[in-house]
Amino acid sequence: MKKEKEFDTQSVTLSGVVALIGAEDHSHAARRLKAKFPELEWVDHNSTDNVPEHVATISLRTDPALHEGAFTINTDTGGSAPKVEMAGGPFSGVIYGVEELIQRKRPSTKESAELTFAAGLQSPDLPYRSFWTWDHSTNWNLEQIGQQEIGVFNPYGKPPEGFLSDYMRAVDFCSENRIGGIIVYGFLRDSHGGVSSAKALCDYANDRGVRIIPGIAIGAYGGVYWEGPSKYNLASWLGDNPSTKAQAEGAIGFQIEDLDFPLSFPQSEYTLSACPSDPKTIEWMEEAVSWLAETFAIGGVNIESGDYGVCGCDRCLARRGDNDDPSRRQEQLESWSHADLTHNFPRLFDAIRSRRSDAWVYCELQWDNLLDKSSGQAFEAMPPDAIYQHTVNRSYWNRVCSELAPGALNEFPQSRNALRTHIASQWSGDYRTERYRDNSMDVMGLAREGAALGFKGLTMWGEASPHNVPVELNYLAFSRFGFDASLEWAEFFNDTVAPLFGGHAEATQFVDILSKADEESRPNKAAILALQNLTVEALSQAHDQSVGRWIWLAEHLSRRQRMAPDS
C-alpha cells in the first residue's frame, strides 16, 4: 500500500513556567503532561486572558467537529513565548494528542523540554478499534493466582480485586496507544465485585478516553449479569420462568477449524439459553440492557445471538424459515442463528441508544461467513448506526483477501462494518495456540487490507499481558496500523519496535531469534540451545527497558528447550 499520509514533524522548546489551559476539562491529559514533563513548572489557568505574554502556554480543548480520537496540534512561536494549541475530537482526541507528545519525547535538560509532534490533522483510519476479552482469561496483572488462558464457560478463579487489577492495566495501555475500547464478557459477576467493580472500571476508563463495552448474548451467555443472583442473570431468570428455556437443536458448543485441537463444553448453568422466539425473553433482555445502559457509564455493548447452540422449538423453526435453515448452514455455523439476531437486535439497539446516544453498539455476526451473500440479505432492515462485526479465522481471512473485491462492502446494507479476528489468540494455531506468538505482520495485514476493503473497525483479542513480548508487538501493530493503515512496515519497525530494544539491529536480532524459536511445533534441543546462547550474549549487552524483554526471551527459550523432545 502506498503511504498516503505525510506529516511534517515540528518541535517547540519550552522552559520554566508553562501555563496549562483546559486542565479542568481534560484532567487525565493534564496529569500525563505533568508526569512526563516534570522539568517544566506547570500552572493551571482557565483561559489565556490572565497569562503573562512571556509565559509559554499549552491549551487543551475539545473540537466537536473532529471525529472521535482525531486531533490537531498547532503552534505559534511569533510572540515572546511559544503557544501550543491542541484540539481533539470528543472523548479521546485530546488524550491521543497528549500521548503524541509523550511518545515523541526527546531527551531533555533539567530546565527545558522539546515537544515534538506531527503537524496536521491525525484521524483514525479504522474508527472502531477494540480489544475483545473474557474476564476470566484476561491476565494483565501477572502476580495474581487463578490465571486462565482459554475457555468460554469458566468460573472466575482470581481474588475479587483481580478484575480491576487486570482491566485497569489494560485501560492504561489502550489510553496510551489509541485503542478505543475494551469488550468485556463477564462484565458483571459477583465474584469480582459485581455492580461496584463494574462502575469503578467504567469511571476509570472514561477518564482515560477508553470505552468499556460489555459483551452479551440474546438469551445466552448468562444474560446481562453473567454470574450472581441478579434478576438479569440468565440462570435466575430461567429458574423463575422455566417455560422460556431453549430446546437445544444440537450438541452444546462449537469447533474452530483453524484450532488444532477439539474444544470441550461441559454442561453447567453457564451453558443455559432461553428461547429467542418467546416474547418474554426479549422483553426481559430489553429491560436488562436498559438497566445496563442506565446504571453504568458504558461506552457501548457487544451483542450476539450466542454461539453454542440454537433453540429448535417449533416456534423458532417456523420463524427462521428459509432465512436460517439448518440444512443450508455449514456445519460450523449450526451453533448460532442470524435470524435470531435480526429478529431481536433492533429492540436492544434502540434500548441502548435511547440512553447512550454515542454508544458503540456492535452486532456480532459470528465467524467465517463474510462471503456468504445470502446471510447478508437478512440485515437489510437492521439499524444503520450499529457496528456490524465480521469475525475471521486465519484460513478464512486468506479467502476474504482473495475473494472480496475492493468496494464490495458498499453493497452491504450497512456502512459500519468491522473485522474481528481469532488470529493472535488462543482460538487459532497448534497445541500452543497463537496467544503468545508474534503475529504483528498479520495484524498489520488485517488493518491495511481491512481499510482498503472498506472496513471501519478492527477488533482483536486483548487478554494477554504485553509483558509477553510477542503480545506487546501484536498490540503495538494493532495500535499503529489501526490508526494509520497507510503506515509502512519499515516505519513502524524503526519508530515503534526498534526503540524497545535500543536500536534497529538489536530489535532485528530479537525478532529473528523469536521467530526461529517458535518456528517448529516440536523444536530441536540443540537448535534452541544455540538460540539461548545468542540471547544470553545479547542480554549481557542490553540496558534500560530492553533488559526485561531479553530476559523474557531467555525464559521463553529455556521453557521451549525443556519441553523439546530428546531426539
Structural domain contains residue 1: no
Q: Are residues 112 and 191 both part of a single domain? A: no
Give me the sheet containing 56-62, strands edge to edge: 41-45, 17-21, 56-62, 83-88, 71-76
Tell me which residue of 512, 513, 212, 486 sits closest to 362, measured CA to CA. 212
Q: What is the pTM of this model?
A: 0.96
Q: Tell me: do 175 and 220 sit in the same domain.
A: yes
Region 442-463 average pLDDT: 97
Cβ within 8 Å of residue 212, ≥6 positions away: 171, 181, 182, 184, 187, 201, 202, 205, 206, 296, 297, 298, 299
- Report phi then psi at 226, rounded to 5: -55, -45
Q: Give me the CATH number covering residue 92.
A: 3.30.379.10
Percent of the chain with pLDDT over 70: 95
Residue identified by cell 534441543 is: 525
For residue 301, which amino acid is it?
V
> Based on the domain organization, do 481 and 506 belong to the same domain?
no
Mean pLDDT of the chain: 93
In a shared domain, residues 461 and 520: no
pLDDT-based confidence at 118, cuts 50/70/90? confident
Residue 374: its pLDDT value, please?
A: 59
- Total number of domains constituting the chain: 3
- Of the pLDDT bands very low, low, confident and very high (cuts 50, 70, 90), residue 250 is confident
pLDDT the model gives residue 483: 98
Residue 256 lies in a domain: no
Single residue among 445, 461, 487 that ends a domain in this structure: 487
Identify which has the larger pLDDT, 371 or 179. 179
- Tell whether the model's pLDDT for residue 2 goes beyond 80: no
Q: Are residues 95 and 176 in the same domain?
A: no
Structural domain includes residue 492: no
Task: List, for residues 276-322, the tens digit of each pLDDT value.
Answer: 999 999 999 999 999 999 999 999 999 998 888 889 899 998 888 75
Residues 191-220 have a mean pLDDT of: 97
Together in a domain, 66 and 163: no
As a whole number, mean pLDDT of residues 486-508 equals 97
Is 356 contained in some domain? yes
Residue 548: give the domain boundaries: 499-563
Residue at a domain's end among 444, 461, 487? 487
Say which DSSP state 22 is in. S
Q: Looking at residues 58-67, what average pLDDT do you find?
A: 97
- Residue 319 C-alpha cell reads as 420463524
Residues 306 and 408 in one domain: yes
Q: Could you tell me the end-to-end alpha-carbon distance of the chain, in angstroms, rounded to an integer?
A: 45
Q: What is the pLDDT of residue 176?
A: 98
Name which of 191, 249, 15 is nearest 109 in CA terms.
15
Averaged pLDDT for residues 230-247: 96
Give the position of cell 492495566: 169
Domain match, 481 and 558 both: no
pLDDT digits (tens, 9 = 90+) for 514-555: 999 999 998 999 999 999 999 999 999 999 889 999 999 999
Assess whether 417 and 548 both reside in one domain.
no
